[in-house]
Amino acid sequence: NAGVIQTPRHKVTGKGQEATLWCEPISGHSAVFWYRQTIVQGLEFLTYFRNQAPIDDSGMPKERFSAQMPNQSHSTLKIQSTQPQDSAVYLCASSSRGANYAEQFFGPGTRLTVL
Amino acid sequence: AQKVTQTQTSISVVEKTTVTMDCVYETRDSSYFLFWYKQTASGEIVFLIRQDSYKKENATVGHYSLNFQKPKSSIGLIITATQIEDSAVYFCAMRGSNYNVLYFGSGTKLTVEP
C-alpha cells in the first residue's frame, strides 16, 4: 500500500517566487491535512479538507498561502511571493472516515527553502 | 483550545531498558483522542499508538504502551526493551471529539545507546 505521497521532496525558491506543493493522500482516505514544521514553532496545523471540501484554514497565514483539493486524489498548497520565513518542512497527512478520522498518516514532507 | 506539553527535551537510555516519556494536555472537550508519533532521522513521521479518552484501559501496541492518567491530564509513552532503532523524536498529539486537527507537543528526542 502506498502511503501519502508528497512532491517535490525539496524545493528551493528565491524570495518573491511562487511555490506549489503537491500531496496525494492514501487511496480511500477522505480527509487531508496540511501541517508545517519548523525548529521554532514545531508542528503546526495549516488547513484541512474533508471529502475535498475545505473545512478549516485557521492555521493558514492570511496572505500568500492558499490550498486546494480539486479531486480526491490530490491536494496542493500554494505559496505566493515566498519569503525566507516560509522556509519549513510542509507535511501532508490523510485519514479515513472509517477510523473516525482518528489516526493521521503523514507523507515524507516537502522541505521548502526560500533564499 | 487544545494544548499539549512535553517537558522532556531529550532522553538517553541504554538499549534493552525501559523508557517513559511524559506528556500533559489541556482540553475542554469531554471526549478526545491522544496519540504518539515518532519522527525518524529521515524526517518520516510514523503513527505509533492511540488512546481514546473514554477508555479506561491503557493502550498497548507491540513494545509501546501508554500510561493514561485522566485526572492528571497525562498520557505517558512507555517503550520496553528499547532498541537502537527506537532512537527518534517522539511527539505527543491530541484532537477533540468533533474537531479533527491534531495539536502536537514539542517532542522528546530519544537516544538509545548500545
* B11-29 pLDDT tens trace: 999 999 999 999 999 999 8
Bridge-based pairing of strands B60-61 and B10-14 is: unpaired
Distance CA(B19)–CA(B29), nearest Å, equals 29
CA A31 from chain centre, in angstroms, equals 12
Is pLDDT above 90 for B97?
Answer: no
Q: What is the pLDDT of residues A44-84, one digit of tens each?
A: 999 999 999 999 898 999 899 999 999 999 999 999 999 99
Does residue B1 surpass a pLDDT of 90?
no
Residues of B in Cβ contact (< 8 Å) with A50: 100
Q: How far off is chain B from A50, nearest CA to CA, in Å?
A: 10
A96 shares contact with chain B (CB less than 8 Å): no
- The pLDDT assigned to A99 comes to 60
- Say yes or no to pLDDT of A96 above 90: no
State pLDDT tens for residues A105-114: 999 999 999 9
Q: Residue A111: helix, strand or coil by DSSP?
A: strand
> Which residues of chain B are within 8 Å of residue A103 when distances are taken between CB atoms?
35, 47, 50
**Residue A101: band (very low, low, confident or very high) from pLDDT cuts 50, 70, 90:** low
**Min Cα separation A42/chain B (Å):** 6
Q: Per-residue b/e over A38-56, b at no fewer than 16 CB within 10 Å? A: eeeebbebbbbbbeeeebb
Q: Which residues lie below 8 Å from residue A62, measured CB to CB, with a gap of 6+?
A: none
pLDDT digits (tens, 9 = 90+) for B53-86: 999 999 999 999 999 999 999 999 999 999 999 9
- For residue B99, pLDDT over 90 is answered with no
Q: Which of A80, A74, A84 is nearest to A23 (CA)?
A: A74
**How confident is the model at residue B109, as a pLDDT?**
98
Distance CA A99, CA A108 (A): 22
Band (pLDDT 50/70/90 cuts) for residue B101 is: confident
Give the confidence band of B96 by pLDDT, cuts at 50, 70, 90: confident
> Looking at the complex, does the CB of residue B107 fall below 8 Å from at least one CB of chain A?
yes
Total count of residues recorded for chain A: 115
Query: Kind of pairing, strands A110-114 and A10-13?
Result: parallel
Q: Give the whole-number percent of chain B exceeding pLDDT 90.
A: 88
Q: What does chain B look like in DSSP terms, one character per residue?
A: --EEE----EEEEETTS-EEE--EEE---SSEEEEEEEE-TT--EEEEEEEETT--SPPEETTEEEEEEGGGTEEEEEE-S--GGG-EEEEEEEEESS----EE---EEEEEE-
